[in-house]
């Protein structure tokens, strides 16, 4: 018979701690388990809520595509400039005007 990783008491304790706001890192340290193990147990118990992943902040102003269209409107051949930075494209636009 396989050994049990978490007793019913341990499971209840980690669920209670997690729901009380204790971090998974702290719970893992207290229980002598890995963070991955504790997180997996919380997922199986249906209580773990994944943290939102940070999203990249969108820069204000025109997109690179819009800048290339503007630069092309000045008569400049933009072929090969798709990889240029927005700053470089803006300098070309300023120079072309």
Each residue's pLDDT tens digit, 58-86: 767 888 889 989 888 888 888 888 888 88
Share of the chain above pLDDT 90, in %: 45
Report d(CA 7, CA 20) in Å as an integer: 20
Cβ neighbours of residue 36 closer than 8 Å, sequence gap 6 or more? none
Report d(CA 97, CA 85) in Å as an integer: 19
Report d(CA 24, CA 38) in Å as an integer: 7
pTM of the predicted protein model: 0.53
CA terminus-to-terminus distance, the chain: 79
Q: Which residues of the chain have pLDDT under 50?
A: none
Q: Is residue 87 a contact partner of residue 57, using CB atoms and an 8 Å limit?
A: no
């Amino acid at each position: 018979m396989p050994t049990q990783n978490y007793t019913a008491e341990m499971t209840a304790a980690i669920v209670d701690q997690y729901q009380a706001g204790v971090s998974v890192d702290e719970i893992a340290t207290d229980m002598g388990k890995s963070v991955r193990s504790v997180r997996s147990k919380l997922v199986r118990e249906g209580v773990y809520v994944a943290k939102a992943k940070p999203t990249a902040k969108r820069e204000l102003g025109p997109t690179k595509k819009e800048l290339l269209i503007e630069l092309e409107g000045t008569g400049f051949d933009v072929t090969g400039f798709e990889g240029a930075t927005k700053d470089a494209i803006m300098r070309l636009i300023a120079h072309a005007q």
